[in-house]
Amino acid sequence: MRTIKITERYFLIRSNSFKNFILIQTLPFKLFFLPKKIYKKSLLNFISRLNKVKYSIDLKEFSGYFALDIVISTFCNLRCTYCCALSSKIKGYYGLKAENMNFLTAKRVIDLALKYFEKELTKKKTTIGRFDLFITGGEPLLNFPVLKFLLENLDSKLKELSIKLKIPIEFSPEVATNGVLINNEVAKVFKKYNVQSAITLDGPWHDERRVYPNKKGSSKDVLKGLKILISNKNLIKLQSVISFDKISQVNKIFKYYEENKLLNSIKAVNIIPQAAPIFDRYLIKNKKKIPRVDENLYKNYGFLIFDLSKKFGLDVKNYQERLFRSIQFGGLAYRCAASLWKLSVAPDGSIYPCHQLTNIKEFYMGNVNNPAALNNHINRVKAKFRKRTVFHVKPCSDCLFQTICIPFVDCPARCYIETGSLFTVPEYYCKIHKPYMEKLFEEFIAQKINY
């Protein structure tokens, strides 16, 4: 697919699958099918007329939206060889001491989150609300009583808020767990609150990489936990972290899932190319020395994921759903909700824009246990992220997909960790994901033409 950038929000594209040129307006996202012969002067006049229509960078997707990330525990019962939260340079998960969030801190987290959520709902006068909860660790099930407390209280308080404001509110909780502690009690609690369990199972290489402190592999216990969740009809997202040297063998992960009869019940699958630990990447001064995948493997990975998605009837990494949803919303000027519509809280109550930025002092937003100084800290960090629209991020500002790209590519946390800037996307993320996005986008346009 050939792409020419015309101005900030306008791109001209042509592909072998369609003969005419198509003008893309990225915000609000629209397609304009042009005649076979197009003259530069008439095209620029047409764009000039389009530019006279006022547009807003306020996001429909984030209107009435709030997300809460909670690192509920910095204890873990596994010693995975590639854990992103551990570092060879700093002790502890996210460089924090090993501890569980207590009930009082959890209550204060809920109170703060609901305060900001209600403010968002009333400010935008929205007719529907959405509250996303993401609980992670360490291993969050090592703090199951507080996890259960969070689910119970958020569920009940959101229902009360829905009645108060007279609007429906969708509560979408997700728990990232290694899966080895799942039992019937956990499954029943997760079922009651419609929790999606995000569980990592690394296919045939799992027992080499996700091990107990005694080096014993954990796949048997993970599969046991998955079967309990499946039998209780819980929501499940399967994840696999694939190492650089195995990217060309990604099909073996799907074969493993198929052999263990997981794909009959689970349709959400996320394959993640392995990255160095967060703090290792953050602390490397020469960012060019961060380990990268071979460039040819980058290109092949996208096509492999595309083919495997078709073969198994999956939307791997939610590419398709996320891409088409962004188009439906008319494009998004902000690719991530961090700090603006999302907060992340560590076990001691410290607040950050995202769990991947935990314990990085530049992004400290205060502590729920010290409310007096909260507003100043939060507003300071928000100001940084408010400037971060896709038109100010490189290379997004020059990319056709700038307002509809999936957040795996333009992740502010990974940008800062790997480049030292919130405004620079690591080039290799584009190389990994863009081939797949181009295929999906061409299919989308073909459907529009045939329609």
* 294-321 confidence digits (pLDDT tens): 777 777 777 788 788 888 888 777 778 8
Judge residue 362's burial from the number of C-beta atoms within 10 Å of its C-beta, 0-12 exposed, 13-18 middle, 19 or more buried: exposed
Nearest to 196 by CA among 94, 103, 273, 267: 267
How is the beta sheet containing 129-136 ordered, strand by strand? 268-273, 235-242, 196-200, 169-177, 129-136, 65-71, 342-345, 351-352
Alpha-carbon distance values, 88 to 92, 164, 272, 367 (Å): 10, 49, 21, 27
DSSP state at residue 8: T
Measure the CA–CA gap between 440 and 419, rounded to whole angstroms: 28
**pLDDT at res. 354:** 96
Measure the CA–CA gap between 98 and 76, rounded to whole angstroms: 9
Residue with tokens 């199972």: 201
> Would you put residue 197 in left (φ > 0), alpha (ψ -120 to 50) or beta?
beta
Judge residue 352's burial from the number of C-beta atoms within 10 Å of its C-beta, 0-12 exposed, 13-18 middle, 19 or more buried: buried
Tokens of 350: 């410290």
Return the amino acid letter for 353.
P
Instruction: Note whether 324 and 408 are within 8 A (CB).
Output: no
- 59-451 homologous superfamily: Aldolase class I (3.20.20.70)
Segment 31-52, tens digit of pLDDT: 998 887 777 888 999 999 998 8
List the beta strands (DSSP E) in 122-251. Answer: 129-136, 169-177, 196-200, 235-242
Instruction: Note whether 351 and 344 are within 8 A (CB).
Output: yes
Nearest to 158 by CA among 205, 110, 213, 223: 110
Tokens of 12: 């001209």
Query: Where would I find the H helices in 284-345?
Result: 295-312, 319-328
Using DSSP, how many helices (H) and how many strands (E) does the chain show? 13, 12
Nearest to 140 by CA among 91, 194, 192, 93: 93
**pLDDT at res. 450:** 67
**pLDDT at res. 60:** 60
**pLDDT at res. 61:** 62
Q: Supply the DSSP string of 332-397, one letter for each residue.
A: -S-S--BTTTEEEE-TTSBEESSGGGTT-GGG---BTT-GGGHHHHHHHHHHHHHT--GGGSBTGG
**pLDDT at res. 329:** 83
Residue 57's CB is within 10 A of a number of other CB atoms, namely 13
**pLDDT at res. 373:** 85
Nearest to 305 by CA among 296, 316, 320: 316
Measure the CA–CA gap between 159 and 72, rounded to whole angstroms: 23
**pLDDT at res. 14:** 82
What are the residue boundaries of the structural domains of the chain, listed by start?
1-55, 59-451
Q: How many whole angstroms from its chain centre is CA 283?
A: 23
**pLDDT at res. 269:** 92
Measure the CA–CA gap between 136 and 104, rounded to whole angstroms: 18
Instruction: Note whether 64 and 129 are within 8 A (CB).
Output: yes
Dihedral sign for Cα 242, 246, 250, 251, please.
Answer: negative
**pLDDT at res. 57:** 61
Measure the CA–CA gap between 31 and 49, rounded to whole angstroms: 15
Whole-model pTM?
A: 0.92
Instruction: Note whether 117 and 131 are within 8 A (CB).
Output: yes
Measure the CA–CA gap between 282 and 279, rounded to whole angstroms: 5
The ranges of the chain with pLDDT < 50 are none
**pLDDT at res. 59:** 54
